[in-house]
A and B are shown apart, each in its own frame.
Chain A
């Protein structure tokens, strides 16, 4: 059953919030996998349960049913091979610690010795271009720089899968473009697997190798779109290329349809949804 190449597998994941006399079904059935070293983006209409999904995968939230496995091991709590970059950078960094200490603390908790920690922290700081700010406190930095710190912290942790929850939703457009390129280049350098949740369609196409479009609530995967763009991308040429525009249009239409409440014609059974090993389904494999 398992995909030999998958770093992350999500199978029949469902989440219903149980309230006082009122249950809210946030996620109905999600099944997908992310191959080792792949960059996958998740987009969906607002309120599609993107954050719920990410929290379930990260082991921060218990799912109602289904399974998440990381490297073949079921996720029951936050796993060792995962790092999360949250949208709220200002709230996810420890304001009482310097930039360096923020990056170092998880490594300390992981049990690394001092020399090893210093090497990794220095490398991570250099990778995100913040060597100069190592001894500053997060609140002395701009929003974009703070998010760089959070990214450096995640990268230094050396996770199998890097989860990013709308990480650039709260920074200005120019910073955002820089950070997108930073994440792309880190991904290519380090060979880490990235699952990137965003509500920005352009961003998902620019960054990902695949884009999973979610339906509205209760959430299922509406379509799995392959992004056929070269590995070397840049803000100007890639974004103005015909292929980018085509993919973008396609994802945009899908999100519009998701907003209107369109869902896959058959909510797939657990066995039927599984794509052939190593390759996600082509768009034509699915009911339109």
Chain B
């Protein structure tokens, strides 16, 4: 019963929206607003093995690479900055400045060094964009690690590495996860945007290509595919979060009840 209700709540609105789209676009003769039926029929014809291998997968690989770089660099730098007052005072103004620059603006600059079509340009763009939410959240997370917990670790003579692993990173992990979740949605956006500037292959590039060649139903299928990828990625993220952050949900619930 509970499961049925949950499924109903989760799927209810999407089903209604799709139905609305289907009905309102049915029989549409507007060239830019094709019936959903046409789009759905175009989907399997558009996304065959070749575009999946040469557009979708390379895009996702670049997203994965850029995102991972951002996670590693963001957590590492954020831990260092969060742990040191001096470093924080030194970095804060600079961080504010860099965070304020929209990453797409950097694409032309990065392209000067790596070229527009190079994978490096796109990976660096994604990494730079994803870095900030992770970095800033890690800084806050590290700063908010409980003093008593730190004292406990000190009084039991934990080494630096053990303190970092068992106390600082674990204590900061709820904030790090929050940052990583924000970064993931940013990453998907940047994956597309990084391909809009003169790339020849990739999911974003393919959508632009369809639009420029007036293959409108195909363009719509690309957008739908992007949406599906976004949902799948966030679902994957939530699965990992559910596994690793069970303790945090428990603490939160205990606090609410207590």
B90 contacts partner chain A, Cβ-Cβ < 8 Å: no
Given A94-B170, A137-B250, A139-B251, A109–B149 Cβ distance below 8 Å?
A: no
Q: How many residues of B contact A (CB 8 A)?
A: 21
B45 contacts partner chain A, Cβ-Cβ < 8 Å: no
- The reply to whether B250 and A84 contact each other, CB–CB distance below 8 Å, is no
- The reply to whether B247 and A86 contact each other, CB–CB distance below 8 Å, is no
Listed residue (B157, B167, B251) with the most chain A CB atoms within 10 angstroms of its CB: B157
The digit string for A49-81, where 1 denotes a CB below 8 A from any CB of B, is 000000100111000000000000000011010
- The reply to whether B247 and A78 contact each other, CB–CB distance below 8 Å, is no
A140 contacts partner chain B, Cβ-Cβ < 8 Å: yes
Bound Cα distance from A137 to B250, whole angstroms: 9
* Chain A, 77-133, CB within 8 A of any chain B CB: 77-78, 80, 82-84, 86, 88, 91-92, 94-96, 105-106, 109-110
- The reply to whether A86 and B151 contact each other, CB–CB distance below 8 Å, is yes
B28 contacts partner chain A, Cβ-Cβ < 8 Å: no
B102 contacts partner chain A, Cβ-Cβ < 8 Å: no
B234 contacts partner chain A, Cβ-Cβ < 8 Å: no
Taking CB as reference atom, which chain B residue is nearest A108? B162
- The reply to whether A94 and B151 contact each other, CB–CB distance below 8 Å, is no
If over half of B's interface residues share one DSSP class (helix, strand or loop), that class is named, otherwise mixed; here it is helix
Given A78-B157, A91-B146, A109-B158, A84–B251 Cβ distance below 8 Å?
A: no
Query: What's the nearest-Cβ distance from chain B to residue A160, in Å?
Result: 14
* Chain A, 180-206, CB within 8 A of any chain B CB: none
B155 contacts partner chain A, Cβ-Cβ < 8 Å: yes
Taking CB as reference atom, which chain B residue is nearest A86? B148
Taking CB as reference atom, which chain A residue is nearest B158? A109
List the A side residues contacting B148 at CB < 8 Å: 86, 88, 91-92
Bound Cα distance from A86 to B154, whole angstroms: 13
Bound Cα distance from A96 to B172, whole angstroms: 11
- By size class, the interface of chain A is 20 to 34
Taking CB as reference atom, which chain B residue is nearest A163? B155
Given A60-B155, A109-B158, A139–B250 Cβ distance below 8 Å?
A: yes
A157 contacts partner chain B, Cβ-Cβ < 8 Å: yes
Bound Cα distance from A140 to B162, whole angstroms: 25
Bound Cα distance from A109 to B157, whole angstroms: 8
Query: What's the nearest-Cβ distance from chain B to residue A86, in Å?
Result: 6
List the A side residues contacting B54 at CB < 8 Å: none
Query: What's the nearest-Cβ distance from chain A to residue B95, in Å?
Result: 26
B24 contacts partner chain A, Cβ-Cβ < 8 Å: no
Bound Cα distance from A78 to B153, whole angstroms: 10
Bound Cα distance from A59 to B154, whole angstroms: 9
List the B side residues contacting A77 at CB < 8 Å: 154
Bound Cα distance from A82 to B151, whole angstroms: 13
Other-chain residue from A84, A94, A140 in contact with B149 (beta carbon distance below 8 A): A94
- The reply to whether A140 and B152 contact each other, CB–CB distance below 8 Å, is no
Other-chain residue from B155, B167, B247, B251 in contact with A82 (beta carbon distance below 8 A): B155
Query: What's the nearest-Cβ distance from chain B to residue A120, in Å?
Result: 14
Bound Cα distance from A91 to B149, whole angstroms: 6
Given A86-B148, A86-B151, A105-B166, A96–B156 Cβ distance below 8 Å?
A: no
Bound Cα distance from A105 to B157, whole angstroms: 11
B254 contacts partner chain A, Cβ-Cβ < 8 Å: yes
List the A side residues contacting B152 at CB < 8 Å: 84, 86, 92
Chain B residues within CB distance 8 Å of chain A: 146, 148-149, 151-152, 154-159, 162, 166-167, 170, 173, 247-248, 250-251, 254
Chain A residues within CB distance 8 Å of chain B: 55, 58-60, 77-78, 80, 82-84, 86, 88, 91-92, 94-96, 105-106, 109-110, 137, 139-140, 157
Q: Can you give 19 A-B contacts (C-beta < 8 A)?
A: A60-B155, A77-B154, A78-B154, A80-B157, A84-B151, A84-B152, A86-B151, A88-B148, A91-B149, A92-B149, A92-B151, A92-B152, A94-B166, A95-B247, A106-B156, A109-B156, A110-B157, A137-B250, A140-B254
- Please provide the 6 A-B residue pairs with the shortest distance between their CB atoms, ordered closest to farther: A106-B156, A91-B148, A139-B254, A96-B247, A84-B155, A92-B152
